[in-house]
Amino acid sequence: MVCPTTASSAERVSPDARSPLALRLVRLSKRYPAGDLALSDVSLSVPPGQVLGLIGPSGAGKSTLIRCINRLVEPTSGQVFLGPARPGSPAPDEIELSALGRRGLRRARRRIGMIFQEFALVERLTVMENVLSGRLGYVPFWRSWLRRFPPADIANAYRLLDRVGLAEHADKRADALSGGQRQRVGITRALAQEPDLLLVDEPTASLDPKTSRQIMRLLREVCAEANRADDTGRGSGPGSGRGLAAIVNIHDVALAQQFMMRIVGLRAGRIVYDGPPDGLSPEVLTQIYGEEDWGSTTEDAGHSGGAPERHPAGATQHHPGPEPPTDQSMAGAL
């Protein structure tokens, strides 16, 4: 049971909280104590509203990169900036996430939603309670402990659940949902944070192909919707008119090609590709993943024609390009 309070929790993080925020990584490196150099001199800028796919072989450093941004993993060197996107970047009022103390980091992390492969829900809590946990950075501890969330937070959570097609499941326990529905809860919880940036770590790794596509499409749509201004939006949520960027760590090259706006390929902790999805030629894939005959399938080896050429993850090579958001409600999609 979630109890509303009358207090507003719409505390904002300075600076310039209404401006869309861009992310800037400068020469980021991470060496784990065990000795592995997981990231080496990675520099990257992500403008507001951009949905970026991070691909690369196992151990390339994708998860490390995502976790260094919100400092779940502490970078060994380099800087992470989040700040208003203005011409002439670096902007003087950027926040340097990599230099923040505990309190500042806690406040800044409100602006960064995280979505996990295994959903990271509290199974015994309801869908609504899980979504409201996205507000924990905004409400005082005693209020969250008593589950007394402001009415505006609850109304927004219902609105977001409706958006992802889960309104009628609000009072169900999280462990009563399918994998795809759980990931929608994970996405909704992240959106409830009113983030400027989503860090998404292998969101489809435990989902079937159809559900994976639906989840990727949903991510693309909610980011696009956050760029649109209407009077339904709050914070940086859908309809708010603010840019919501995302970095999506994904193994499935075909999904990345279809739903991402930009691809960054990591290999051994370094960026070896940064460009459009349709730039992932066999040569580029070899640069990222190593030598492989990307054009052939097992059947092709014994036959000289007939079967269409396919990418390793199953996408046709002459693929039509990124799928635009459909703008349809996801209600009932699962």
DSSP 174: G
Where helices occur in 260-310 by DSSP H, the ranges are 282-289, 298-302
Q: Confirm or reject binding of residue 56 to ligand ATP (CB under 6 A).
A: yes
Interacting stretch for ligand ATP, rule CB under 6 A, among 31-39, 139-147, 222-230, 240-248?
31-39
Q: Environment class of residue 284 by beta-carbon count within 10 Å: exposed (0-12), middle (13-18) or buried (19+)?
A: middle
Q: Is the peptide bond preceding residue 15 cis, with omega within 30 degrees of 0?
A: yes
Interacting stretch for ligand ATP, rule CB under 6 A, among 30-38, 148-156, 159-167, 281-289?
30-38
Nearest alpha-carbon partner for 144 in 164, 125, 169, 165: 125
Size of the residue set binding ligand ATP (CB under 6 A): 12
Q: Which of 21, 22, 25, 38 binds ligand ATP (CB under 6 A)?
A: 38
Q: Confirm or reject binding of residue 304 to ligand ATP (CB under 6 A).
A: no
Q: How far is it, in rounded angstroms, from Cα 198 to Cα 122?
A: 20
**Minimal distance, residue 249 CB to ligand ATP, in Å:** 6
Per CB under 6 A, contacts with ligand ATP among 58-117 are 58-64
Q: How far is it, in rounded angstroms, from Cα 327 to Cα 295?
A: 34
Mapping DSSP to helix (H, G, I), strand (E, B) and coil, where does residue 288 land? helix
Distances in whole angstroms, Cα of residue 105 to Cα of each of 13, 72, 94, 112, 137: 11, 11, 14, 11, 11
Interacting stretch for ligand ATP, rule CB under 6 A, among 53-61, 85-93, 141-149, 180-188?
53-61
**Minimal distance, residue 141 CB to ligand ATP, in Å:** 29
Residue with tokens 């992802």: 164
Interacting stretch for ligand ATP, rule CB under 6 A, among 32-40, 81-89, 220-228, 278-286?
32-40
**Minimal distance, residue 260 CB to ligand ATP, in Å:** 16
Q: Between residues 14 and 58, which has the closer beta carbon with respect to ligand ATP? A: 58
Q: Confirm or reject binding of residue 183 to ligand ATP (CB under 6 A).
A: no
Binding residues for ligand ATP, per CB under 6 A? Answer: 32, 34, 36, 38, 56, 58-64
